[in-house]
Structure 1
Amino acid sequence: MPATAPPPRYAYLGPAGTFTEAALRQVASPDEAQYLPQVDVVSALESVRAVRADYAVVPIENSVEGGVTATLDTLATGLALVLLREVLVPITFVLAGRPGTRLADVRRVSTHPHAWAQCRRWVNTHLPGVVHVPATSTAAAGALLADPAAGSGAAADPGFEAALVAPLTAELYGLEVLATQVADNERAVTRFVVVGRPGPVPAPTGSDKTSLVVHLPSNDAGALLEMLEQFAARGVNLSRIESRPIGDLMGRYSFSIDAEGHVAEERVAEALMGLHRVCPHVRFLGSYPRADGVAPRIEPGMTDDAFAGARQWVEDLRGGRAS
């Protein structure tokens, strides 16, 4: 009788109850996969590089705060990793404390820095003067508040009186909700990605993204335009572009880019070839389905058939078969 294959291992930003776990549950249920909670995003990604995990699920972009720099920077360097899928999770926060805590008791609030950034106006309005205590994740703040030090007793001081967490986290750790709907933007969404080791690129779906890290060809005037022209000339729209310091010298930056389309499509492949010709470093981070299912608008003359026809025309010219 053949042995049963072990379930895939997913590293993710833990502990239990994080928004990242909510994203992971959209990818694979606990019955289908082994969940490996990690203390931070870098640890989750490095687990895949070290083959301690098959995949990682990490946040990459928030609709309010922008790119998650720890994810962007870790993907940009080190052994190659690729994005296989993206997942969108609506973000809702509550302010939670130990049972018996009153809103008037709160002087320090713990949460992840991205969560704090999404709730600053509410905090300034309702809890002026409160100090932010950074946590590695929203759920980590809730877990520490519920159990400041295992075995030390309920009277131990975690260093804060309340935490900004997901409603599920408050329920999971037995915390009392002090306030609901505390986010500044009730429509906030975080984009998460499934990351794996390089392999065959998934087939195009007609609604895809291609992610890249690109270094500028020079520090001269027009260098950024030269890079962007590789996309514009082929009708490839960019859904995200962010600059990140390379780190070796002041003033040197790379660009983290999401382009609409798939590397199997002629216009995207041509853009990548153009980047490879003019830029000193291009890292391909994968082509994968868009979570929202929106297909890109392809301009006339930029379809696969148009590129194939133009290529055939040149071949005919070379062979003396056309004018």
Structure 2
Amino acid sequence: MTTLPRYAYLGPAGTFTEAALRAMVDPAQAEYMPCVDVVTALGAVRSGDADYAVVAIENTVEGGVTATLDTLAAGEPLMIVGETVLPIAFELLVREGTAWEDITAVSAHSHAWAQVRRWAHDTLPAAQFVSSTSNAAAAQALADSSLDLDVLGFNAALAPPGTGEALGLTVLADRVADNVSAATRFVKVGRPAAATEPTGADKTTLVVHLPRDESGALLEMLEQFAARGVNLSRIESRPIGDRPGEYSFSIDALGHIGEARVAEALIGLKRTCPVVRFLGSYPKADGEVTPVGVGTGEEAFEQARAWVEFLRRGEP
């Protein structure tokens, strides 16, 4: 009997994370494991209860998903092996008979609320926000007629498209979003393994601590990339937690550890920074080939290394 790989994700069924998982892995080829939060999903991979986790790591409104970034940055190493990007918009759901003027509180995941703040201010200025572990969880609770709304604490919910029809709730508004082009990036995370071969359209994710807290320290770290022609698509500071003012940096670099320019940048970081955590090299979701500048391609590095060897041997 063949055992299907187990995938942990932010549940319950119906979340955007499940939609991202479905985009990455056919449900017939995997066992889906809904989890209450990102930390639990990634913890399931670390403990061996799951083979992989699919989690949100970045959105176009709020930037990095801190729960994901911080959980990947500490603890037993994990590796990102793939990514996908989904457009994000919501339905506003209520129970039958609830009108716009009746809405006093709306429940959603905190990252969802961040993506509809302006809409909520303009449309429901008096409504309170009630945080939920996921948008699907809020909608499911609202659909449970045995739960009194006063006890529940909200009488509307934001959820992914199609949730209202599936749960028998009334859709008061659809395509709710402050930014019509909003999207969230999700990553597939597993335990450390040998890197795949470069595709030419790759991304490398790192966590780097600065060597010291002084003027120019960040520039010195960034120069490790700039000198090798490695472009960064994302860099965010995160508190280390030891004391105020100490930060690490979560970084996405365009390139693959199998490329000389990226490997050389990592060597430079390892020489100069106290902590460098490699979180994987993997194909970019958009598939766009990364431009490589003059003097930073594979041939240029091979020729430079060969030249140094000639010099070491005393050859002209």
TM-score interval, smaller chain: over 0.9
Task: Pick the aligned partner of 1:302 from 292, 296, 302.
Answer: 296
Q: Tell me if 1:291 matches 2:313.
A: no
| One of 56, 60, 63 as aligned partner of 2:57 | 60
1:74 is matched with 71
1:96 has 2:90 as partner: no
What amino acid maps onto 1:249 in structure 2? R
Counterparts in 2 of 1:153 and 1:232: CA distance versus 1, 3 Å:
closer
Give 1:128 deviation, angstroms. Answer: 1.0
2:306 to 295, 312, 318: 312
Tell me how far 1:171 sits from its aligned partner. 2.2
Q: Once the two structures are aligned, what percentage of the paired residues are identical? A: 62
Does 2:229 align with 1:240?
no
- Give the secondary structure class of the aligned counterpart of 1:310: helix
Q: Contact 2:201–2:289 at 8 Å: present in 1 too?
A: yes
1:260-271 aligned at under 5 Å gives the runs: 260-271=254-265
Instruction: Give, in angstroms, the shift of residue 156 of structure 1.
Output: 7.1
Alpha-carbon deviations, 1:91-135, whole Å to 9, x = none?
011110112211111010000111101111111111111100001
Distance 1:197 1:261 in 2: 21
Count of residue pairs the alignment pairs up? 316
| 1:84 paired residue number | 81
| Contact 1:7 1:33 (C-alpha < 8 Å) held by counterparts | yes
> What residue identity is the alignment partner of 1:42?
V
- Which AA in structure 1 matches 2:60? S
* Aligned partner of residue 181 in structure 1, secondary structure: strand
The residue identity in structure 2 corresponding to 1:258 is D
Confirm whether residue 131 of structure 1 aligns to residue 125 of structure 2. Answer: no
SS of the equivalent of 1:167 reads coil
Q: TM-score, normalised by structure 1?
A: 0.96
Q: Distance in 2 between matches of 1:315 and 1:155?
A: 75
**1:266–1:303: 8 Å Cα contact kept in structure 2?**
yes
Question: What displacement does 1:155 show?
Answer: 6.9
Letter aligned with residue 293 of structure 2: E
Gaps of 5+ in 1: none
User: Does 2:13 align with 1:16?
Assistant: yes
Q: Report runs of 4+ in structure 1 exceeding 3 Å deviation.
A: 152-157
AA aligned opposite 2:45: V
2:195 equivalent in structure 1: 201
Match of 2:178 in 1: 184
Task: Tell whether the 8 Å contact from 1:18 to 1:169 is kept in structure 2 after alignment.
Answer: no
Q: Shift of residue 166 of structure 1? A: 0.9
What is the CA-CA distance between 1:78 and the residue it aligns to?
A: 0.1
CA contact (8 A) 2:149 2:155 kept: no
